[in-house]
Amino acid sequence: MSKKQYVVRLQKELQQLLKEPVPHVKAFPNPANILEWHYVITGPDDTPYRGGVYHGKLRFPPEYPMKPPSIMMLTPNGRFKPNTRLCLSMSDFHPETWNPLWSVGSILTGLLSFMLEDKITSGSIETTDLQKRQYARESMEANKRDPMFCKIFPDLIKEYEARQQAAASEPVSTATSTSTSTATGEGGQPTGGAVQQQQGPKKPTKNQRRKAKKKAQQQDPAKQAEAEAEAEAEAEEGV
């Protein structure tokens, strides 16, 4: 195909993507080379890739759409080796299965679908879900170091930095909760003082015991008479 034909085709696909975006996918050509496209796949919520932003690229041959592109992912992700051509049915590894009706949108939809599976192919790696989540959390930091990502997806950089600034400005609560009770007066209104911890009954003093005994004797005539007899006996002993 002539250069004009593949240019027309790829420009048409770009307009289609802008008009009808593909879920979880963004893609734009390199401003200096329309045969090199850069894409971003955003990890779906119900997967280990949640929150991840994965940058990759497609390299189209001049014969496109009669021949398929090469596909690679650049951001560390836990599923594919970074910067490595992937062996997929819609990549240049398998020109015999390529369909000229496929487009950038359908290629990236197929790539995302394969990414969410566990099938092994040339260019894939095996990691745990925990490792994939860690890659997802670190993905934008890796993308920030990629000049081409920053050039083609500046809006994603701005969004990420805005979230970082918002998170940094949130106050961190360091106060510890204390459970102090408040003394209350009539009607349950607080008096402003803290309630002291209740203590056990204090041991009565000697004077208090004497008064209590005297009171009991006054209330019981028998005990009162006994006390008077004891007092007389003590007086006689003292004579």
Position 19 in a domain:
yes
- To the question of pTM greater than 0.85 for the whole model, the response is no
> What are 5's two structure tokens?
């034909």
User: Which tokens sit at 224?
Assistant: 């009162």
Host H or E run for residue 182? strand 182-184
Convert the pLDDT of each residue in 196-219 to its tens digit. 444 555 566 666 666 665 665 555
pLDDT class of 109 with cuts at 50, 70, 90: very high
Reply yes or no on whether the pLDDT at 128 is more than 50. Answer: yes
Which residues have C-beta within 8 Å of that of residue 13, sequence separation ≥ 6?
103, 104, 105
Cα–Cα distance for residue pair 170/41, rounded to 1 Å: 29
Enumerate residues 6+ apart whose C-beta is below 8 A from 182. Answer: 190, 191, 192, 193, 194, 195
Catalytic residue list contains 87: yes
pLDDT value at position 176?
Answer: 46
The CATH number of whichever domain residue 51 belongs to comes to: 3.10.110.10
pLDDT bracket for residue 4 (50, 70, 90): confident
Q: How many structural domains are present in the chain?
A: 1
Whether residue 94 is contained in a domain is answered as yes
Q: Does residue 228 lie in a domain region?
A: no
pLDDT at 80: 98
In a domain, 144, yes or no: yes
Catalytic residue among 14, 34, 87, 157: 87
Amino acid at 44: P
pLDDT at residue 96 is higher than 90: yes
Q: For tokens 């208090």, what's the residue?
A: 208
CA distance linking residue 183 with residue 214, whole number of Å: 36
**What pLDDT, on the 0 to 100 scale, is given for residue 46?**
96
Which stretch of 41-45, 130-134, 223-227 has the lowest confidence by average pLDDT?
Answer: 223-227
